[in-house]
Every structure is written in structure tokens, then in C-alpha cells.
Amino acid sequence: ICDLSFPDGVPSDSLEAAKNASNTEKLTDQVMQNPQVLAALQERLDNVSHTPSSYIETLPKAVKRRINALKQLQVKCAHIEAKFYEEVHDLERKYAALYQPLFDKRREFITGDVEPTDAESEWHSENEEEDKLAGDMKTKAVIAEKEAAAAEEPSPKGIPEFWFTIFRNVDMLSELVQEYDEPILKHLQDIKVKFSDPGQPMSFVLEFHFEPNDYFTNSVLTKTYKMKSEPDKADPFSFEGPEIVDCDGCTIDWKKGKNVTVKTIKKKQKHKGRGTVRTITKQVPNDSFFNFFSPLRGDTELPLQDEDSEFTLASDFEIGHFFRERIVPRAVLYFTGEAIEDDDNVGGPGGPCGGELEGDEEAEDDDDAETNPKVSCLEFPHLCLLHC
């Protein structure tokens, strides 16, 4: 038969192919007899066969129809949840008005405009008993000596560098502050949070109040964060509560030669035709905390931005919420460092959701940080309100 089909006999490449096929079949038989290979293969098959999507695909049409009905119910739940968070925002606004008189008095004590009474200054520390025991052991002479020394101590007005000290204590803020920002921040007297009026789109404003200084003429610098609390029409199941969607800064009226957000550089430029060289002076952006008031716009389509811009925008939102949720309400505890210790105990700023991972989880998280920048739960106020 071979002679009829192939006058010259069986081709050598056909023989080679048959030989290779036989070897492959033998190798496959040997591999499939290996228990470890079979176990790994079975595990892969089990994982594939038990994925949710593959399971749903096997269901009858009548069951899939009922699942679609459940999804419609879930969308309605998301819209009800959005209304819930709108009412939470209204509640925040209501209680902000109750806090404000206390915050106003805080500012008066910090600036030294008002001196607290003895009753207002009384505070019982955790080590009060130890302090009392130590005090009883002191002689009257030592006590009198200390009182005399205390009387000679200078008494500065208010609490010097209160807010600047908070900036230094909190890593998230200190990373933004340059050396040339520090003299300006020493003039910061207060930070306030103001919520949008009833019936207006959800937002909040950070107000930074400065005393007169040699750097700019503004008495208040503002940063407005715009929020939304509604499910995305294209992806309603991703709704997790209010989120910041955009922010606006303000114009800083810098005094001449005092703008720390730009720096002046000199560059030599050669004329192509005449060959002469001239020195030109131009201003370029400079790292500064005060760039906080000239933010990237969130209404730009993020896919069109580079990764650095996206990460900067996410960090900006996180810092805004950190001021609102933690710094302003608990300022004295960040000044003394007590709040920082509390944050460390629960996993860092933002509570348990913002903590650091340990071991392999930390390394794995670092791998994704550049390609898929994440922010902590501070991006979402409902997480801070209800969980942290």
C-alpha cells in the first residue's frame, strides 16, 4: 500500500512525526500516573468548576430570571442607602453647629485672646495618684523653690505654634511641609470645617485662618471638597457611600518675592543665528504645602491622567478627610501626641481599614501600590462614621 501511495516509499518526516507522537503519548501516560500531578490537576478543575460565574451559567433560565429580580432589588437598596448617607450628612451639619462654640473657645485659648479659668484648666491625669505621692514626699523648701522658679518663667501668649506642632507630629502632613513653609505655618491660628447648606450639593470646606504675616494678604485660605452620594448608573453595585469627586482651592495673594510655591531659575540660552548667549530667568513650580490650595481637578477623566496625577488626587482627597474627620475635632490630642498613639494602636490613620499589612500581605500590597493606587477608608466618610 505504501508503494502505491508513495512511489518513493514512506517519507522520512512522516516516520519522524509518528515517532514523536508515540513518545509524547508515553510521556503523557507517565505524567498522568504521578499522584502529585493528578492532585494539582484535580484542584485546578475543582476551582474552575466552583467559581460563582460558572455556577450561575449552569442554572436554568427560570432561576436566572429570579436572580435578575434580586439585582433590581439590590439597586433599589443602593438608592435607599444613598438617602441614608444624605441624612447622615444633615446630622453632621446639625452637630457641627453644636461643636462650633467649643471650637471657637479653643481658638481663643490657643491665640491667647482669652485666659481659661481655674475650673476650665483643671485636668486629672492618669498618673494623678503617683504625682500626689511624689508631691507628699517633697519638702516645703523644694516646693517653694520650684514655685519661685515657675514665677520667673516667661509666660508666652496662648499656646505658641499649636497648629504647626500638629503638622510636625502627623506624618501625613509633615511630608507635605517644606522647610520654607514652616515660618508661614507658625502664623496659622485655626482650622475650621464648614458643611454645605441644606438643599445644596453635598460638600465641605476647610478654612485655614492666619494672623497677619509677611507672606500673603489672605486672612483665610480655603479648600472645598465636593461629594456625591448616589449609585453610579453604569455600576450601581459599586456604591459604598459618599465619596469625594472633586475639589477646588483658592488664590493665594502672595506678597512680592514671598511665593514659596514657585522658584526662580536662571538658564543660559544661545541664539541660533548670531551665536550670542543670554541668561533668561523664569519661574518653575516648587514643592510646598501651599500647593494644597491649587489642587488637580477631579472632574478630569482619570483614564486620561497619568498614574502620578491619579495618586496625587487620591492622596488629596484622603488628606481632606483626615483634616475633617480627625485633625479638627481632636486637635489638642494631635498636639500632645495622644491621638497619634491611638491611631498606631488601631492600625494607623483612618482606623482599622487604614492599617499596615504584615508579612507577605505587606509586600503584596506594595507591589500593587504603583499600578493601582488605593486610599484608606478616609476617602469614604461613611466608613469613618460607622466603622472607625
pLDDT, tens only, 29-52: 666 677 777 777 667 656 655 677
Q: What is the pLDDT confidence band of residue 190, given thresholds at 50, 70 and 90?
A: very high
User: Any idea of the CA torsion for 149, 155, 161, 166, to the nearest 10 degrees?
Assistant: 50
Closest CA to 206 of 293, 117, 99: 293
Residue 159 · residue 114 · CB < 8 Å: no
Give the mean pLDDT of 150-172. 87
Q: Which CATH number fits domain 62-119+132-386: 3.40.710.10, 3.90.650.10, 3.30.1120.90, 3.30.470.20?
A: 3.30.1120.90
Give the mean pLDDT of 87-91. 90
Q: What is the pLDDT confidence band of residue 163, given thresholds at 50, 70 and 90?
A: very high
Looking at the predicted structure, is the pLDDT value of residue 217 above 70?
yes
Give the mean pLDDT of 149-155. 64
pLDDT value for 310:
73
> CA 246, CA 224: separation in Å to the nearest integer?
8
HSE, side-chain direction, 13 A CA sphere, residue 272: 0
> CA 194, CA 190: separation in Å to the nearest integer?
13
Map residue 204 onto helix, strand or coil. Answer: strand
Angle at 330 between CA 327 and CA 332, to 5 degrees: 100
Map residue 220 onto helix, strand or coil. Answer: strand
Looking at the predicted structure, is the pLDDT value of residue 218 above 60?
yes
Give the mean pLDDT of 226-234. 87
**Selected residue with higher pLDDT from 330 and 131:** 330
Map residue 273 onto helix, strand or coil. Answer: coil
Looking at the predicted structure, is the pLDDT value of residue 361 above 80?
no
* CB atoms inside a 10 Å sphere around CB 353: 17
pLDDT value for 267:
79
> CA 339, CA 169: separation in Å to the nearest integer?
10
Provide the angle, in degrees to the nearest 10, between the axes of the packed helices 35-49 and 12-32.
80
Q: What is the pLDDT confidence band of residue 380, given thresholds at 50, 70 and 90?
A: very low
pLDDT value for 237:
86
Report H helices in the chain. Answer: 2-5, 12-32, 35-49, 52-57, 61-111, 118-121, 128-137, 140-152, 162-169, 171-174, 182-185, 307-322, 331-336, 338-345, 359-369, 381-386
Q: For the chain, what percentages of helix, strand and coil (3-state, to nearest 5) are there?
A: 55, 15, 30
pLDDT value for 147:
61
Residue 190 · residue 163 · CB < 8 Å: yes
Q: Which of 25-39, 63-77, 194-208, 224-238 has the lowest mean pLDDT?
A: 25-39
Highest mean pLDDT: which range of 84-93, 160-169, 315-324: 160-169
Share of the chain above pLDDT 90, in %: 41
> CA 162, CA 187: separation in Å to the nearest integer?
10
Q: What is the pLDDT confidence band of residue 229, given thresholds at 50, 70 and 90?
A: confident
Q: Which of 37-41, 161-165, 201-205, 322-326 has the lowest mean pLDDT?
A: 37-41
Closest CA to 213 of 168, 253, 250, 267: 253
pLDDT, mean over the chain: 78
Give the mean pLDDT of 199-217. 94
pLDDT, tens only, 288-347: 999 999 887 655 444 445 667 777 778 888 999 999 999 999 999 999 999 987 776 655
Give the mean pLDDT of 11-33. 66
Domain positions in the chain are 2-58, 62-119+132-386
Looking at the predicted structure, is the pLDDT value of residue 367 above 80?
no
Q: What is the pLDDT confidence band of residue 137, given thresholds at 50, 70 and 90?
A: low
